[in-house]
Structure 1
C-alpha cells in the first residue's frame, strides 16, 4: 500500500529498470503512441503512482480525467473481486444481465433531462461517439453533421472526422466520413475569427454557424446532429460562454437537430457537476460517456432521448459492451461520487486551484490565461500576452 505526503525520487528518472522496459516497448509497441514521459507505473493508489524504480509521483492528470475516484479505490477493488467470482461475461446481443439494466436506470436518472431515455453500452469513448453518430443519422435520415474546430471525439474513422486538435491525428487518413462541417468553437482567449473577445464579439462564432453554415452550406433539415464538447478537453480545456452553449440548444430546437453532448472527458463529476453541460443550463438530446465511468476499465455509454434511439434490432450491436463486471464497477463509481461528496469536492478544490493559478498569473507574464470548471482547469502559457 502506498502512503505518501509528497513525491519521492530515489533514482533519477528514467531509472535503469524503466530504461530497459522502455527499450523493449519501443521494439514491439505501436510508434503512434505519443508517450509524453518516461514513466513506467507499477503501483498506484488514490492520487499517487509508483514507478518501476521506486519513485513516487503525484498524479496531477488523473489519467486524462479517468481516475476521478482515485487509483484503486478500495470499493472498486472489492466490486471487481466480488463480481468476477460471479459472472465475467454475457453476450448482451442475445441475453440480459442485471448490472446492465441497473446501470442504465441510474444513468437515465443522473443524465440531464426529465424525459424517457435509452442507453447503449460501449467499451470506450470513441465507440460511444460512433453510436451517437449512427443513432442520430438513423433517426433523422440526415446527411450532415456539425462539429467544432479544436474538438476531440476519438480516433476511429467516424469520430476522427470530428477530431481537429492536431493534424497528426488526421494526416494520411483521407477520405474520412463525408458530411461533417467544422464550425469555430467559442475559444474566446484566442478568437478563431480574430475578435478581441467575448462579449464584444457578439458571439460571431455562433453567428457563423447560424448565418453561414446553416444558410449557405448545410440545409438544416438535412443535418443529423450537432456534436460538441461543453468544455473542450484535448483542445485546451476551453470553457465557452454559457450564451454560446445555450445558442447551440436554441439552433438545434429551431431546426429539429439532435444536440450531442460529448461528456467523455468532462463528465462524471470532473467539473463539480455530474455533467459539464449542466453549468450552462442546457439539456442535450444525446450524451456520450466513458473515461471515468468505470475507474480505468474500458467502458462507455451513449444515452439518448428514448424517441431518438428508435432503430431496429440488429442496427447496432457489439460483443463486449456492457460487460456485467464493469457495469457493476460503474455503479460503484457513481455511488462513491455521491457518498463521498466528490462533486462538491471538485467544485471546492477547483476554485482553490484556479485562485492560486490566477495569483501566479499576476506574478508571471508567461501565464496568459487561467480557465476551467471544477477540477477541469487549464493554464495557457504564452510568449507575449499582448499578441
Structure 2
C-alpha cells in the first residue's frame, strides 16, 4: 500500500519537505537556511508551522507585510478582484485596478512631489525599480556615473548590485557596471571617519561636497545619487534628517538627480508614510516595492515629470500589470493611511527601542540599538574586545547567529543584517499589538542572555 504524504508522521513530512528543498533549490537560497520551518498557515504576526508550532514573525517578508499575514482588507480585495472576472494579466494596459492604485499611491506622497510626478510600473521587484530609476536618470542627463553609499543595499541585478555596498555578493561577479563613486554613509556607531555622532554626519556631507567640486577628485559629473533614508539590510542605520537635507542641497545645486530608495522604508515602516517625510526632503525619484503590493509582487518608480524623457519601451517587462497586486496594494495603502498606522509604528517602535536600549547594562553583548519606527536594529558585539575610537566593540557574527537560532527556539523569527551580519533586525508588521511587542522583546532578551551566558560565566570564573 502506498502512503499519502499526509498519512505520515508530521515530523517525517517536514523533514522530507526540507530535504527536497535542500536537494532541488540553488545554493543561493538564504532564509530557508536560517529557518527550518515549513509554514502552513499565517495570520497577522503569527505563522503556524507544519509541526503545529507558532512563531511571532518579526521578518514580515523583509518588510513586505505592512499589515501582517492575510489581513482581512487584503484578502477581501483579492477575493473581490478574482470574483469580478477582472483580467489578472494585461501587461501595462489601463485598468480600473491600476487607476485606483495610482490614485491611492499619489494620495500618500508629499504634495510637492505628487503634484508633478509620473509613475512607471516595473518588473515586480524592487531591484528592477532601482534599475529603472538609474536608467531614467542616465537617459535624462546623458551621463553614466552614479553616487552611492557605504552600507547600501539596492538589489541583486547588475545596476542595483553596482550601487549596493556589500562586497561579498559583488566580488565573485565579473563585469558589474562599476562607474560608481562610493561615499561614506553616516553610521554613528561605526563612523567611517572614526568620530561618530553629528560630527561624523557633518564630515560625510563636507566630504561629499568637496569631492564633487574638486577638479582633481576623479568624479565626472554623475547621472544620479541614490540613497536610503534608513539603511535596511545595512543594519537598520538611520541617516540624520539634517544630513539628508544636506544631500538634497548638494545634489540640487549641482544638477544631480536624487533617487531615494523607499523599498523597505515605505508605507509607514519608519513612523512616517515615506521615510523622506521626516526630513522634508523632496527627491527627484522614489523607488518603491515590498509593502506597496499588499503582500503581492509590485514595484514602481515615481519621479518628477521633468525627467520623463524615455521612449516607449525604454524600460519594459512582462509582469508590470499584476491586477491582484494592485488591488491588494490599494487596500493596504488606504488602510495604513486611514488607521494611522505610520503614527502607530512611531509610537510602538520608540517604546521597543527604549526598552532594548535599557537592556544594554545587563546584556553587554548589545553594542548599539538604533532604527526608526518599526525598523529596529540591535547590533551584537564582543564585550571583551577592544573598543575602537568611537567606543564600538568588535562585531560578533557568531553570537548573532546563535541569537537568531535561540529566538527561533522560542517561537520568534528575526533576521540578521549589517556589517558582518552582526545586527539582529526587527521588522514586525505595523499591526503589532502591545502584547506582541512585549513578547518579542522578552524572547529576544532571553535569547541574548542564553547565548552570551557561557561567555559571561567563563569571564567571571
SS at match of 1:244: helix
CA contact (8 A) 2:152 2:231 kept: yes
Q: SS at the partner of 2:256?
A: coil
Q: How does 1:185-196 map to 2 (within 5 A)?
A: 185-194=185-194, 196=195
- What is the aligned partner in structure 2 of residue 29 from structure 1? 25
Q: Which residue in 1 is equivalent to 2:240? A: 241
- Give the distance between the partners of 1:214 and 1:65, measured in 2 at CA: 38
Question: Using the alignment, how far apart are the partners of 2:119 and 2:13 within structure 1?
Answer: 44
- Alpha-carbon distance in structure 2 between the residues aligned to 1:121 and 1:230: 22
TM-align CA RMSD: 1.7
- Mapped to 1, the partners of 2:11 and 2:192 lie a distance apart of 43
Change (3 A) 1:55 1:367: same
Q: Give the conservation status (yes or no) of the 8 Å contact 2:223–2:256.
A: yes
Q: Does residue 1:116 correspond to 2:116, yes or no?
A: yes
Within-5 A mapping of 1:153-164: 153-164=154-165
More helix by share: 2
SS in 2 for 1:315: coil
> 1:139 offset after TM fit, Å?
0.9
My pick for the range that moved more, 285-294 or 202-211, is 202-211
* 1:47 maps to 2:45: yes
**How many residues of Structure 1 are paired with residues of Structure 2 in the alignment?**
369
**27-36 vs 42-51, greater mean Cα deviation:** 27-36
For 2:72, which of 42, 51, 74 is the aligned residue? Answer: 74
Distance 1:285 1:113, change over 3 A: farther
Cα distance in 1 between the residues matched to 2:310 and 2:201: 40
TM-score under structure 2 length normalisation: 0.77
1:140 aligns with 2:174: no
**Runs of 5+ unmatched residues, structure 2:** 1-9, 394-461
Which has more radius of gyration?
2
How far apart are residue 367 of structure 1 and its match?
1.1
In structure 2, distance between residues paired with 1:325 and 1:303? 20
Q: In structure 2, do the counterparts of structure 1 residues 89 and 201 end up closer, same or farther at CA, with 3 Å as the change threshold?
A: closer
2:129 is the counterpart of 1:128: yes
Q: Which runs of 4+ in 1 moved over 4 A?
A: none
Match of 1:280 in 2: 279
Deviation at 1:213, TM superposition (A): 4.7
Residue in 2 aligned with 1:105? Answer: 103
Verify the 8 A CA contact 1:119 1:304 in the aligned structure 2: yes
CA contact (8 A) 2:105 2:333 kept: no
Counterpart-to-counterpart distance in 1, 2:15 and 2:163: 36
SS in 2 for 1:307: helix
Alpha carbons of structure 1 residues 284 and 15: separation in structure 2 relative to 1, 3 Å: farther
Identify the residue that residue 331 of structure 1 maps to in structure 2: 330
Determine whether 1:219 maps to 2:201: no
Cα distance between partner residues in 1 of 2:58 and 2:201:
36
TM-score by length of 1: 0.91
Taking the aligned partners of 1:204 and 1:219, their CA distance within structure 2 comes to 22
Report Cα offsets for 1:64-109 as digits up to 9, x if no partner. Answer: 111111100111111111212322334334x321222222233223
Deviation of residue 360 (structure 1)?
Answer: 0.7
Ranges in structure 1 where 5+ consecutive residues have no aligned partner: 1-13
